[in-house]
């Protein structure tokens, strides 16, 4: 088994929806584009990733949304060293189809009160649903490590909530631990690094917005 030395997760650059949530009533979520600032963030992330990967090969998986595709293009990775696949299981949490601006804001407030993991959007997914499909992807990813020539680097270009849930699944975090963490900023990374103990460790923690309830931690 050729396990990669690092698995890097990257949140897409700033999108139209990050600066104006009313856009969801006019443009499908999957079709939202990067803003000029989002392109800049993605290009900056690319500078760091090219330095990190150097001459090593990379196996990249990209969410099928326009903003993640645009983010990947802005990274300017060497196509001779990067194997790229679109991966639908890394998509954003589904909120439903066309979204009513007032309803979205009301549901976001309800989700904050109910909990991001269990709350289900009326026509979409819960965080638990995303966790399940991320878990299915992780099983596929792990099988890919069976190849003797697997690249030493894996890159996932995805979304903030999906990043947290991927790490939750990999690191075996509790729901309470997940709920205490904030999404990374646009264009920000987290990396799982293979240590000398033959285990993966997160390069830096997610920011906390609250202390998890110890009564809910196993």
Over 60: is that where the pLDDT of 134 sits? yes
Q: What is the pLDDT of residue 99?
A: 79
Report field, pTM of the whole predicted structure over 0.85: yes
Please give the residue range of the domain that contains residue 39: 6-216
Considering the domain boundaries, does residue 136 fall inside one?
yes
Residue 100 belongs to some domain of the structure? yes
Task: Assess if residue 1 is contained within a domain.
Answer: no
pLDDT surpasses 80 at 216: no
- Asked whether residue 66 is assigned to any structural domain, the reply reads yes
Which pLDDT score, from 0 to 100, does residue 108 have?
84
What is each CA distance from 207 to 13, 71, 177, 201, in whole angstroms? 18, 23, 11, 16
In DSSP terms, 194 is beta-bridged to: 200
Report residue 4 as tokens: 């990669």
Q: What is the mean pLDDT of residues 136-150?
A: 95
Convert the pLDDT of each residue in 145-190 to its tens digit.
999 899 999 999 999 999 999 999 999 999 999 999 999 999 999 9
Q: Does the pLDDT at position 101 exceed 90?
A: no
pLDDT for the residue 18: 96
CATH number at residue 136: 3.40.50.1240
If you average pLDDT over residues 17-22, what whole number do you get? 92
Q: Active-site positions? A: 12, 92
Closest CA to 166 of 198, 189, 146, 143: 189
Rg for the chain (alpha carbons), in Å?
17
pLDDT value at residue 164 = 98
Q: How many domains does one find in the chain?
A: 1
Listed residue (45, 44, 38) closest to 9, CA to CA: 45
Tell me the two tokens of residue 82.
């990067």
The answer to whether residue 49 is domain-embedded is yes
């Amino acid at each position: 088994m050729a396990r990669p030395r690092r698995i890097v997760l990257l949140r897409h650059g700033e999108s139209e929806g990050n600066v104006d949530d009313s856009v969801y009533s006019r443009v499908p979520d999957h079709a939202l584009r990067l803003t000029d600032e989002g392109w800049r963030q993605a290009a900056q992330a690319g500078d760091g990733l090219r330095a990190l990967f150097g001459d090593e090969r990379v196996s990249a998986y990209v969410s099928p949304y326009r903003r993640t595709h645009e983010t990947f293009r802005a990274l300017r990775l060497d196509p001779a060293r990067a194997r790229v696949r679109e991966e639908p299981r890394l998509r954003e949490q589904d909120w439903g189809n066309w979204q009513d601006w007032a309803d979205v804001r009301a549901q976001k407030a309800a989700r904050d009160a109910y909990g991001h993991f269990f709350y289900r959007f009326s026509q979409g997914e819960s965080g638990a649903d995303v966790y399940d499909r991320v878990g299915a992807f992780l099983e596929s990813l792990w099988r890919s490590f069976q190849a003797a020539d697997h690249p030493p680097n894996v890159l996932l270009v995805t979304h903030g909530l999906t990043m947290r849930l991927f790490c939750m699944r990999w690191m075996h975090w509790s729901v309470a631990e997940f709920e205490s963490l904030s999404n990374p900023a646009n264009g920000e990374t987290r990396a799982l690094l293979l240590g000398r103990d033959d285990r993966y460790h997160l390069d830096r923690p997610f920011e906390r917005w609250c202390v998890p309830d110890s009564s809910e931690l196993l």
